[in-house]
Structure 1
Amino acid sequence: MASGAIPPNWIQRPPSAFDIVACYFPETEPKPGGSAKLRPALVLNIFRDRITQAFFCEVAYGATNLKFPQRGHLDLIIQNAADLNLIGLHRATRFDLDKANVAILPWSAEFFDCWPGFPSPYIGTLTEEYLKELAWLIMKRNSV
């Protein structure tokens, strides 16, 4: 967003934990001859700065390279067609839960944007089934 530009309306309405949003992460820098890739990200937590009141999102980025044999027991993978449709994803997606690949980003137009046809970066929310799977994966990762 250019300096002095009016922020989009969606900035005032941050997502909730376990929402899926469109995010420029992990590629926050534009590529030569093109822009950074807007991809789905799973919101793991929301924070609010006590002084500025700005929102921050802890996110795990989504990738369409599922790497199922290597990552199926480590990452949240959504691949069932009915679930993809219900959640708002267009393709099978793996959310990378490695701590090194999770970031806390400001809820701003610099890091989040809208997919074509969407009024905000919000794409969808995990179903109860995937919330349980995510909790299991996190518990399993923390016990190692």
Structure 2
Amino acid sequence: MAALPAEQLPQPLDIVWAKFPYTEKPGQPGEVAHPALVFTTYEFRTGEFSIQVAFGTSKLKTEERPYDFRIQNFRDMQFAGLAQATRFDLDRIKYLPWDSDWFVSPAPQKYPSPVLGRLLDQPANRLRNILRVRHDNGMSVPYRAPKQD
């Protein structure tokens, strides 16, 4: 494990490349990296951070998962650094250590850090609306809702 530089810390609403843990092995990085949506960062010791993220997948499951957040618009996908439409599972939100075991760059020559991109205003507003509906219906939401810069 190598801590990643604090100057590369993602911001709320950034998309990062993360080895999100599998349900069967919750304390271990997943074998395959996935996009993850950043909600917040937390410095738990001086210079040591954890990042609250939601799991991203290309399995959209539109009918079965209506209260998850999706990025499907081409422009939104480009700005977020996503190669394909992505669903962020808002029932799979975790704090992960900001280190090289959990966060990786998918292509170091193109992405010098695990940050791929970020949400534009319109998808960020859609996310806030989904989180509000989830909260109002007693569904899980991130500890702190993301703020826009």
* TM-score bracket for the superposition, by shorter chain length: 0.7 to 0.9
2:46 to 39, 52, 76: 52
1:69 aligns with 2:63: yes
Report the TM-score when normalising by structure 1. Answer: 0.83
**What secondary structure sits across from 1:68 in the alignment?**
coil
1:136 to 129, 133, 143: 129
Query: 1:123 maps to what in 2?
Result: 116
In structure 1, what residue type is equivalent to 2:87? R
**What secondary structure sits across from 1:113 in the alignment?**
coil
1:96, distance to aligned residue in structure 2 (A): 0.6
More helix by share: 1
What is the percent sequence identity of the aligned residues?
34
Q: How many residues align?
A: 129
Instruction: Indicate conservation of the 8 Å contact 2:73/2:85, yes or no.
Output: yes
1:59, distance to aligned residue in structure 2 (A): 0.4
In structure 1, what residue type is equivalent to 2:105? C
1:83, distance to aligned residue in structure 2 (A): 1.7
Query: 2:13 maps to what in 1?
Result: 18
Q: Deviations along 1:18-45, whole A, 9 cap, x unmatched?
A: 1000000034456xxxxx1111000011
Instruction: Indicate conservation of the 8 Å contact 1:26/1:61, yes or no.
Output: no
Query: 2:38 maps to what in 1?
Result: 43
CA distance in 1, matches of 2:96, 2:33: 14
In structure 1, what residue type is equivalent to 2:10? P
1:12, distance to aligned residue in structure 2 (A): 2.2
Which stretches in structure 1 are left out of the alignment for 5+ residues? 2-6, 31-35
Query: 2:25 maps to what in 1?
Result: none
* Residues 1:58 and 1:77: Cα distance change in structure 2 (over 3 Å): same
CA distance in 2, matches of 1:89, 1:126: 11
Q: Deviations along 1:72-131, whole A, 9 cap, x unmatched?
A: x31110111222112210010000111xx1100111111100102321100001110111
CA distance in 2, matches of 1:16, 1:107: 12
CA distance in 1, matches of 2:21, 2:126: 23
Q: Which runs of 4+ in 1 moved over 6 A?
A: none
CA distance in 1, matches of 2:129, 2:97: 28
Which stretches in structure 2 are left out of the alignment for 5+ residues? 23-27, 138-149
CA distance in 2, matches of 1:115, 1:53: 24
CA distance in 2, matches of 1:142, 1:132: 15
